[in-house]
Amino acid sequence: MSDDIANVVSYEDVIDGIKTMLAGGHINLVETLAEKIAELCLTDERVETTRIRVEKLDVYAEAASVGIEIERSRK
């Protein structure tokens, strides 16, 4: 790899994709959201593996957050 920005995944593209996904309507489960974000990331052929963490903040007084972390790879 070189120090060329064209060789890396654009964070802006990922964020825009997530915003579009969320604009499509309510997603019931954070597990479903994590899977959809992983699928989005893997659409870029340069991405071989992605690790996604989705957290709900301030859900329980006893915990800073609750959530899920998944890792998915290209088949």
d(CA 47, CA 73): 8
Please indicate whether residue 75 is annotated as part of the active site.
Answer: no
Q: Which residue is catalytic, options 19, 36, 56, 75?
A: 56
| Beta-carbon contacts of residue 36 (< 8 Å; ≥ 6 apart) | 21, 27
Q: How far apart are CA 4 and CA 40, in angstroms?
A: 23
Residues that are catalytic: 56
